[in-house]
Amino acid sequence: MKVKYCVVFLLILGIIPLMIEDTAFLKSSAVLMITSVGMLLTRKRREDVKFDYIRYSLVKILTGDVGSSIYGIILFVILAMALTTWLPDGIEEKNYPLIAGTVFYLVAFFALFLWASPSKKEKPKGFRQTRVLIMALSKPNWSIEDLKKATCEDLLHNRKRLNVNPIFIAVNKHRSEIKKLILIVSKEIVTNRDYAERIKAIADKLKECFSREIEIEEWLIDDANDLNRIRGDLLPKLERIIREESAEEITIDITGGTAAISGALTLLAVKEDIQAQYLRQDRLEIQKIDIDVFDLGDLWREFSERLMEKTS
């Protein structure tokens, strides 16, 4: 927080000479630019100053910080003034000190923002088993009797093609650590008369297959096809679980549910820095999805493939 105060102080200090004279603004902006670039280049870990880091920080100011905090609002207002008032006025009036001063100030602005931004985290290598698994319950193509008759081998090897199988395959991936399974359910599924019996049947079969009870918690969503509403429904619940367990002990599985649910879960995994996984259908293999805010291109490619799978 002190770093952000420093950024705001320096940026506001750099504006004061503009109220006096354009030449004074040019000189102060040049000094501010040299100072801010120097601060950026002398960060403790110079390897942070690279393209991915800069790309992340620019995305952050345009989509993350702006409007979500006083700091973000101040930065947005300053940037808007520079781009929509100072620079256009300088060009229109052919006021070269103002133009140059604004350019220097903008360089200083972005250098200070980058200096104050967090560095890219190292991704943990390999897959880790976690205590909490979050995934969606697909609209059942199975009856309670189907599940009762199925053997654990049937479920774990997808022999009977029940769309409840991915739950058992995913739990099996975390079998030594998992304590809680969170199922995301839509109103359409919950309103079925046998819904409670189905959840109990899943719990009983999990106990049978893994020789212990695994707690099941249900998260209700209003509309399984509205990505933004799903995110809104799930975010407070996810934040609660993070407070209770920590993000490192949570895995999000995007296999079940609609394409919108998969997309919302993927975005939430990125936002909260949570391990994500999905079941590769052709191999019946759980794969980790290595995504964070630095991998937005990969994220959207992954989501597009998932969307095509859901709609094919």
pLDDT at 279: 93
Same domain, 110 and 137: no
Same domain, 218 and 297: yes
Q: CA Rg, the chain, in Å?
A: 26
Q: Residue 209: how many CB atoms within 10 A of its CB?
A: 19
Q: Kindly report the CATH number assigned to the domain that includes residue 144.
A: 3.40.50.10770
Buried b (16+ CB within 10 A) or exposed e, 32-47: bbeebbebbeeeeeee
On whether the pTM is more than 0.75, the answer is no
Same domain, 107 and 177: no
Same domain, 221 and 99: no
DSSP assigned state of 288: E
Residue where one domain finishes, among candidates 116, 143, 162: 116
Give the number of domains in the chain. 2
Give the burial class of 7: count Cβ atoms within 10 A of its Cβ; 0-12 exposed, 13-18 middle, 19 or more buried.
Answer: buried
Asked whether residue 15 is domain-assigned, the answer is yes
Q: In 3D, which of 179, 180, 214, 22 has the Cα closest to residue 100?
A: 22
pLDDT at 209: 97
Q: Which residues contact 116 (CB under 8 A, 6 or more apart)?
A: 3, 4, 6, 7
Asked whether residue 196 is domain-assigned, the answer is yes
What pairs with residue 217 in β-bridges?
Answer: 182
Residue where one domain finishes, among candidates 116, 151, 182: 116
Asked whether residue 124 is domain-assigned, the answer is no
Same domain, 83 and 145: no
Same domain, 175 and 295: yes
Give 139-142's long-range contacts (Cβ < 8 A, gap of 24+): 139/163, 139/186, 139/188, 139/189, 140/164, 140/189, 140/198
CB distance 134 to 33 below 8 Å:
no
CA-CA distance, 104 to 33, in Å (whole number)? 6
163 φ, ψ (degrees, to nearest 5): -80, 10
Amino acid at 31: V
Order of all β-strands in the sheet with 215-221? 215-221, 180-186, 132-136, 250-253, 275-280, 285-289
Q: In 3D, which of 93, 134, 113 has the Cα closest to residue 250?
A: 134
Amino acid at 196: A
CA-CA distance, 277 to 306, in Å (whole number)? 12
Same domain, 15 and 54: yes
pLDDT at 216: 97
Residue with tokens 């101040």, as numbered in its chain: 74
What pairs with residue 250 in β-bridges?
Answer: 132
Asked whether residue 126 is domain-assigned, the answer is no
Domain region containing 250: 132-311
Q: List, run by run, the mean pLDDT of 10-residue segments along the chain (312 residues).
A: 82 91 93 92 57 57 56 82 92 94 94 74 75 96 96 93 95 96 96 96 97 96 93 94 94 94 90 90 84 54 55 52
Q: Which residues contact 311 (CB under 8 A, 6 or more apart)?
A: 259
What the block records as the tokens of 206 is: 């999990």
Q: Which residues contact 36 (CB under 8 A, 6 or more apart)?
A: 10, 107, 108, 109, 111, 112, 115
CB distance 66 to 113 below 8 Å:
no
Same domain, 147 and 92: no
Same domain, 103 and 14: yes
Asked whether residue 125 is domain-assigned, the answer is no
Amino acid at 12: I
pLDDT at 274: 92
